[in-house]
Structure formats: structure tokens, C-alpha cells
Structure 1
């Protein structure tokens, strides 16, 4: 199941893969650089864990919950331009093992997210 954050990130509640929404990708425009953390990095909810530089803005992905980065999509470091509004919902940046297995339950479902973005 996919859940969403108010910061326009999506979280796969089964694999704990995290990416940005199509809405976020369209707001950012052409992505030119992605700064990924190392696997094994401890993260705290709300802290930026991935840096994203685009033609329009500098942004990032915040950890949706406390945990540890277990996997990093290294291909994005070499090809950040592959993250587009069309591909954003299929492109994960990192996977996090949550400190609390129920941590993603408090995130928004798709209907709530769509209502938020209008």
C-alpha cells in the first residue's frame, strides 16, 4: 500500500521505499542533482535525508519516520534527470527500516493526499 506525506513524498508500506510524488516532480522541474545518504544511516522523522537540486529549486526528502536507511537507489545519483512527473511514482530513492513497524500507519492515504493538493 502506498501512503503519502504532507511534503509530497510517497512511502510503500510493505517495502518502505520512499520517493517523491508526481506533483512534487512537476513542481521541481528538471532534476539535476540528487544527494543520497549511505545505507546504514540512522534517520529521524522530519529530517532531510535526500537532497534534490532542480532547475527551479533546491528541495529534499524528509524521513517520514525514525529508522535506518537499508537501501539506496544509486542509479539516481548518476541519472537524476530520470525522475520526472511521469516516472516519479515508480522511482524510489531510499528504503528505510522503521524503528516502529507501525510508523507508516499515520501517513495519508491517496484520497487524503489528493484532497490536500486539490
Structure 2
């Protein structure tokens, strides 16, 4: 009886451990960045501390990766993305754990800032 109980507990611990490991990387722990655009440039602000790694998915699917010393990214929109929707997300390390954000989107505008 004890052997069967130990086997059930071991199986439960292994199953729970695998579930936790598999779910952690995909979960967003930080809010999506706030982004605005104008004059063929964009500004995104994150809820992060320290070095922030940005992932910008341009119209057409290419991805740009930027690293900033703080929580703000200021960059130019490529000509091919002007007037098109762009997606932004970020990550940073806090207490030895990598924190990932939700994704936001904005339009790369050539005119006034919005």
C-alpha cells in the first residue's frame, strides 16, 4: 500500500513540475508597452527596470531587437512600415528572473505624433 501511495505522489510531483516549467516562459508578467509615433519615428515606454530588451515586429513580419539601458525606446520607422501596424514587446531581468511583457501595437506615422 505504501509503495502505491509513494508512486502516486511521485507521479503528481513530476506532473506538476513539468506543468510549471512548460507554462512559465509563455506567460506575460509585465504590461504591454505604451507606444506612440510621429515624424516617421516612434517612442515606446515599458514598465521595466534596468536593461530592457525590445522586440519590434515590423509590417511584413521582420523583427528588430533593441536593447536600452532603461525603460524607453526611441527609434525610426523603416520606410516600408510607414502607415502600417507595428507590434512591440519587451523583456528584462528582475531578481534573476526574466520578465516578459504583453504585446502592444501602433501605427508608424509620418505626420503628427499620436
Common fold by TM > 0.5: no
TM-score by length of 2: 0.32
* More strand by percentage: 2
TM-score by length of 1: 0.31
